[in-house]
A = this chain, B = another copy of it.
Amino acid sequence: MAKSMYLLWGSGSPPCWRVMITLEEKKLQGYKQKLLSFEKEEHKSKEVLDINPRGQSMYLLWGSGSSPCWRVMITLEEKKLQGYKQKLLSFEKEEHKSKEVLDINPRGQLPTFKHGDNIINESVGACLYLENQFKSQGNKLIPDSPAEQALMYQRMMEGLPFLEKIGKTGYLLRLLRERHDSALKRNKDNLVTEFQLWESYLENVSAGCYLAGGFSLADVVVFPSVACAFSYGYVTKLERYPKLAKYYSLLKDRPSIKATWPPKWFQIEQRSESLKDI
């Protein structure tokens, strides 16, 4: 039986060693094996990737400045899945409606994401999938304790109406034909209420803590919207939202977030006049 086994291993790696101990214990000596060098990146060689695709079989199509895309990218960093294939598309050029995207994602939206043959384009779905598939790799993003887990799922899902309200106000500001001042005012009021809500959530969080205790999928999903609000100048009166500002500062330099900061936002200079009162 051992003759049909093939082990590619690296010296000094406990996971490799575990397998080798088990093979010895089970009297399966005589298996085919090959020692590879981590230093020479032989664990990224074609021979390994053909058998063990991990992060390398992933493909992400993304757009700069999109919070949903950013969520997936932060998760990939946190789970140590760097090195995945990716392509930056332009919303302005309508590349999210290109054949390449539509073939994978009939909604023609970004992110569009594949892991092997598995397609998960919905950003929160992709984050949940990656955390579940790579539980013990990188940082744990779903807490175990029921209380933290409940809070994590609650805040993570509240991240969706949060982004929607930011998006809606932004849309109405750009829209002219179908826009009513009453609708714009109502949406701006809703957005203020939303910011106040998150401010109150953060008031109940201990110092140095994230939305649900440790850094979790709640932060992965919500932070991009907070950063969006700050970068586009939706939050101009910082003194109104000291906790949100602190949360922003706490996270903006986190390695996974810094490594994936949307290139577009570095260029934003001008703030929208119509948002001064938020």
Contacts and interface: CB of A to CB of B under 8 A. Distances in A.
Contact of A153 (B125, B147, B178): B125
A53 to B, nearest CB: 11
Nearest to A196: B106
Nearest to A121: B154
A117 B147 contact: yes
A158 B154 CA distance: 18
A156 B158 CA distance: 16
A200 B106 contact: yes
A250 B161 CA distance: 32
Nearest to A123: B157
A251 interface: no
A61 interface: no
B118 A147 contact: yes
A122 B157 contact: yes
A258 interface: no
A28 interface: no
A31 interface: no
Interface in A206-252: none
Given A106-B200, A125-B157, A160-B160, A118 B180 contact: no
Contacts of A192: none
A183 interface: yes
A129 B156 CA distance: 12
A267 interface: no
A110 interface: no
A162 to B, nearest CB: 11
A120 B150 CA distance: 6
B158 A122 contact: yes
A153 to B, nearest CB: 4
A257 interface: no
A15 interface: no
A68 to B, nearest CB: 10
Given A122-B154, A154-B120, A107 B197 contact: yes
A140 interface: no
Contacts of A178: 180, 182-183
Nearest to A118: B150
10 contacts: A107-B158, A107-B161, A115-B150, A118-B150, A119-B154, A120-B150, A125-B157, A128-B128, A129-B149, A178-B182
Given A118-B146, A120-B150, 14 more contacts: A106-B200, A115-B150, A116-B146, A118-B151, A119-B150, A119-B154, A120-B154, A121-B154, A123-B157, A124-B157, A125-B153, A125-B156, A133-B149, A178-B183
